[in-house]
Amino acid sequence: MRVCIQQDSLAPVQEERVGVRGRSAHCDNQPLTPALSPLSRGEGACLIGFAAIPLMLLCIASAFAQTDFPSKPIRFVVPYFPGGTPDIQGRRLAEKLRDRIGQPVIVDNRPGANASIGLGIVARAPADGYTIFIAPVGPYAVNPHLYKLSYDVLTDFAPIIHATSTPGLLVVNPAVPAKTVRDLIALAKQKPGELNYGSTGIGGFGHMSGALFAAMTGIQIVHVPYKSITNALTEVIGGHIPMLFNVASPTIPMVQTGRVRALATTGAARMEALPEVPTMAESGVPGYENSTWNGISAPAKTPPAVLLKLNREFNEILKLPDVKEAARVEGSSIVGGPPEQFRDYLKREYAKYGKLVRDAGIKGEALN
């Protein structure tokens, strides 16, 4: 038995576990010899005997890993209960991915411990591209600064794509006398420590948006965490707390029906769904910008070719008219781009929220 290899191809096969399409070996047509010919850069060499079989099988397996992916169902972990923005967007993307690759994409909701249960499952999964997850900014960039986690966000995951970006809304109960953000700042300064704002929990988007607002304006407002955004919105609507910051999609209908009043959007630009609502920067807090986002990642050491395959598929999905329209209705914008772009963005967000957590003295509670 004779297997021909090329020296330059040894390292990629070992490190990436991904082969190349077509013939990956070259033979210099020299006669069979009982020993290994010297290897030199750019020149072929021939291995003989049964010792070559493991290498041959590795090469074959590596080739199939690239050319046949995906050849079985993909598990798409959502670290939250059904119904939230990550779940809604994740299910939409999973359905489109299934249609494109011809394999089932199974959404697996794994809520709990502020999303750390779901991310922990992915961190421990085989790095083969068949287990991926979608999550917003909190699990990626806030939780690591608040909790002791079983994984490292920056080293235990391989970014695939930055899918969407979603600004939030600062809303108040209609009975609150503040009609603008400037009015609200003035009211908070008149009553330091008396105005409460709700959120879905410590380290969540609403909490961090309020902490950033307080830090940039010098006001003292009190964070009140709730178990769900439904509970928090109900409290604002009922007048039990005066205001909250929340992601756009579940809040827009409340604004449109007059149950809450929107003072500003937290994004860098006005929202298409509520064009009359100014940004925080336009409302007297220059430089304020805080949006949540959803990104998709896989376990670290997933073969680069598999990551690129998934990235290409998701980029094409994000271009679909119905996907773009659904995002618009939710108040989100499509991002997309290569894995490296998401990796760089994640690092910036990680540093941004680390500083905010430290400066504001925010402490995490026990995960459960």
CATH number at residue 321: 3.40.190.150
Could you tell me if residue 233 is inside a domain? Answer: yes
CA-CA distance, 283 to 138, in Å (whole number)?
A: 26
Extract the tokens encoding 353: 């929220």
Could you tell me if residue 101 is inside a domain? Answer: yes
Instruction: Count CB neighbours of 107 within 10 A.
Output: 16
Same domain for 174 and 224, yes or no, is yes
Contact criterion met (CB below 8 Å) for 200 and 81: no
Which one of 273, 291, 309 terminates a domain? Answer: 291
Rg of the chain over Cα atoms, rounded to whole angstroms, equals: 25
Could you tell me if residue 258 is inside a domain? Answer: yes
Same domain for 205 and 354, yes or no, is no
For 26-50, b where at least 16 C-beta lie within 10 A, e where not — what string? eeeeeeeeeeeeeeeeeebbbbeee
Same domain for 132 and 212, yes or no, is no
pTM equals 0.77
Domain count, the chain: 3
CA-CA distance, 117 to 133, in Å (whole number)?
A: 12
Per-residue pLDDT of the chain (368 residues; tens, 9 = 90+): 433 433 333 333 333 333 333 333 343 333 333 334 343 444 444 444 444 545 554 444 444 445 589 999 999 999 999 988 899 999 999 999 999 999 999 999 999 988 999 999 999 999 999 999 999 999 999 999 999 999 999 999 999 999 999 999 999 999 999 999 999 999 999 999 999 999 988 898 999 999 999 999 999 999 999 988 889 999 999 999 999 999 888 899 999 999 999 999 999 999 988 999 999 999 999 999 999 999 999 999 999 999 999 999 999 999 999 999 999 988 899 999 999 999 999 999 999 999 999 999 999 876 66
CA-CA distance, 162 to 164, in Å (whole number)?
A: 6
Which one of 67, 92, 113 terminates a domain? Answer: 67
Could you tell me if residue 366 is inside a domain? Answer: no
Same domain for 58 and 23, yes or no, is yes
Same domain for 107 and 180, yes or no, is no
CA-CA distance, 135 to 141, in Å (whole number)?
A: 10
CATH number of the domain at 261, please: 3.40.190.10
Same domain for 156 and 202, yes or no, is no
Contact criterion met (CB below 8 Å) for 5 and 48: no
Same domain for 159 and 298, yes or no, is yes
Angle at 164 (CA atoms; ends 285, 308), nearest 5 degrees? 135
Selection from 121, 150, 143, 154 nearest residue 300 by Cα = 154
Same domain for 200 and 284, yes or no, is yes
Contact criterion met (CB below 8 Å) for 124 and 144: no
Could you tell me if residue 279 is inside a domain? Answer: yes
Could you tell me if residue 364 is inside a domain? Answer: no
Selection from 103, 93, 12 nearest residue 303 by Cα = 12
- C-alpha distances out from residue 31 to 48, 258, 329, Å: 11, 85, 69
Same domain for 81 and 154, yes or no, is yes
Same domain for 174 and 249, yes or no, is yes
Instruction: Count CB neighbours of 4 within 10 A.
Output: 16
Which one of 30, 49, 67 terminates a domain? Answer: 67
Could you tell me if residue 368 is inside a domain? Answer: no
Same domain for 323 and 178, yes or no, is no
Could you tell me if residue 367 is inside a domain? Answer: no
Q: Domain of 301? A: 74-166+294-359
Same domain for 149 and 298, yes or no, is yes
